[in-house]
């Protein structure tokens, strides 16, 4: 097929794909920045397989540097170690394996090992527990849907009493449903007292710590043992670009540092030259993910990144304010970070009727395509969920979103 025809077909294909437009609020996904796109193209052209220092020395050095920058940007640790991965699910799975090897003997019965999270935590953590073969326990949440420290203490005591062996707590730094942040400082205190690994899932929210006005919300994140991040969620990096940050540089090696095949055996005596990523994570073949982060962080800078995130948070607050002041909308949650949940009202309708109405409105919205929202059920109420992570979004996009919801809702009344 001639290249011109192929590109025409590609254009038609992309035209029919979902795009992260300024009114795309359905999922936690930022648009790719121009610098990130350029960097991803260069990384593909270089085609580095970042398996170890000896196969990709420059890429390895850049990745280790970028991990430290991410640790500093989020307030986790300025000397953070870790590994870049495909996304938050991969990071949470890797963190659970690191925690298990840090807190359990190699021959321990994994079925007795327990990890603690709330019902608001992203499902990838419970999925990771199933993959690893440990037990996930749900901790009570408070009225704000945050992990309840007293509930955590009670769950730990009850499980120890029946012979289970707690080893890890997963706290959320911005849940993907409503954006709430667990009380990280109190949870860190409990984890330290009971010698548990504290993992913070900040795939969506932790990067908001780059906004000086929001940094105080993440107090205690610096006490975590590990932190999951997604740069393609709120840092405008092209997919895929996740990270697991670790406080202890040797923690990953304890989990993954088993002997490799002879053909990749590292014979260098210098510690830096002997470094191999396969001893710090699940993957062997790995993309040059760090190049886009290195270029983006250097080009935009921490202050500009923080300002863009602050703008998204402010827009979510404006959306909530417009909803609150409207007679035909009801605010159901938020704003928390950049997430706002609401529903359209019909006079005299029951809750069940409102749920069915808003579900139909959402279906119409997603088929219409001018704006894009997702859904969440909160205390039995079907909500339209908006998550703003786009540096191009403006107040006009917020107003347009509500106008389109109103327009399509009228056809259902």
User: pLDDT tens-digit profile of 282-296?
Assistant: 999 999 999 999 999
Question: What architecture does CATH give domain 34-300?
Answer: 3-Layer(aba) Sandwich (3.40)
> Residue 157: pLDDT band by 50, 70, 90 thresholds?
very high
Q: What is the mean pLDDT of the chain?
A: 94
* Residues whose CB is less than 8 angstroms from the CB of residue 386 and which lie 6 or more positions away in sequence, other chains included: 25, 316, 319, 339, 340, 341, 342, 373, 401
The label of the residue with tokens 């908006």 reads 386
| 3 state SS of 140 | coil
CATH of 3-29+326-410, one of 3.90.1150.170, 3.90.10.10, 3.40.1160.10, 3.40.50.12780: 3.90.1150.170
User: pLDDT tens-digit profile of 302-344?
Assistant: 999 999 999 999 999 999 999 999 999 999 998 999 999 999 9
Indicate the DSSP class of residue 217.
G
Residue 364 host element (H or E): helix 351-368
For residue 299, what are its two tokens?
């080009």
Q: What is the distance between the alpha carbons of residues 366 and 396, in angstroms, rounded to a whole number?
A: 19
Average pLDDT of the segment spanning 210-236: 97
User: What confidence score (pLDDT) does residue 259 get?
Assistant: 58
Domain boundaries, the chain: 3-29+326-410, 34-300
pLDDT greater than 80 at residue 270: no
User: What confidence score (pLDDT) does residue 261 get?
Assistant: 55
Q: What is the distance between the alpha carbons of residues 242 and 323, in angstroms, rounded to a whole number?
A: 33
Q: Does the pTM exceed 0.85?
A: yes
């Amino acid at each position: 097929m001639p290249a011109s025809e192929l590109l025409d077909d590609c254009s038609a294909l992309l035209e029919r794909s979902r795009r992260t437009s300024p009114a795309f609020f359905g999922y936690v996904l930022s648009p790719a920045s121009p610098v990130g796109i350029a960097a991803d193209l260069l990384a593909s052209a270089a085609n580095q397989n970042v398996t170890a220092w000896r196969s990709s020395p420059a890429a390895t050095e850049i990745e280790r540097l970028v991990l430290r920058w991410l640790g500093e940007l989020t307030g986790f640790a300025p000397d953070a170690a870790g590994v870049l991965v495909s996304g938050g699910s991969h990071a949470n799975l890797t963190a659970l394996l690191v925690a298990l090897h840090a807190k359990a003997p190699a021959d321990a019965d994994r079925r007795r090992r327990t990890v603690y999270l709330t019902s608001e935590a992203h499902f990838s953590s419970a999925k990771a527990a199933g993959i690893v073969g440990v037990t996930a326990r749900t901790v009570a949440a408070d009225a704000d849907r945050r992990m309840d420290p007293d509930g955590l203490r009670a769950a730990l005591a009850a499980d120890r009493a029946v012979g289970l062996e707690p080893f890890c707590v997963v706290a959320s730094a911005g849940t993907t449903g409503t954006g709430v942040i667990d009380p990280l400082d109190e949870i860190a205190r409990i984890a330290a007292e009971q010698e548990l690994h504290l993992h913070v899932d900040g795939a969506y929210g932790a990067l908001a710590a780059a906004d000086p006005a929001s940094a105080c919300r993440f107090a205690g994140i610096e006490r975590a043992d590990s932190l999951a991040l997604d740069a393609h969620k709120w840092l405008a990096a092209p997919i895929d670009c996740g990270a697991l940050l670790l406080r202890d540089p040797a923690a990953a090696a304890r989990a993954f540092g088993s002997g490799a095949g002879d053909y990749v055996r590292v014979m260098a005596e210098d510690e830096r030259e002997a470094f191999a990523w396969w001893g710090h994570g699940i993957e062997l073949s790995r993309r040059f993910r760090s190049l886009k982060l290195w270029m983006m962080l250097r080009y935009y800078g921490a202050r500009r990144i923080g300002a863009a995130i602050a703008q998204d948070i402010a827009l979510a607050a404006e959306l909530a304010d417009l909803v609150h002041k409207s007679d035909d909308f009801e605010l159901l949650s938020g704003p928390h970070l950049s997430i706002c949940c609401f529903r359209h009202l019909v006079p005299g309708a029951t809750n069940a009727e409102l749920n069915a109405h808003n579900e139909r409105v959402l279906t119409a919205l997603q088929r219409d395509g001018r704006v894009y929202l997702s859904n969440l059920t909160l205390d039995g109420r079907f909500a339209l969920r908006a998550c703003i992570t786009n540096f191009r979004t403006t107040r006009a996009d917020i107003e347009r979103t509500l106008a389109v919801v109103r327009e399509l809702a009228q056809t259902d009344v």
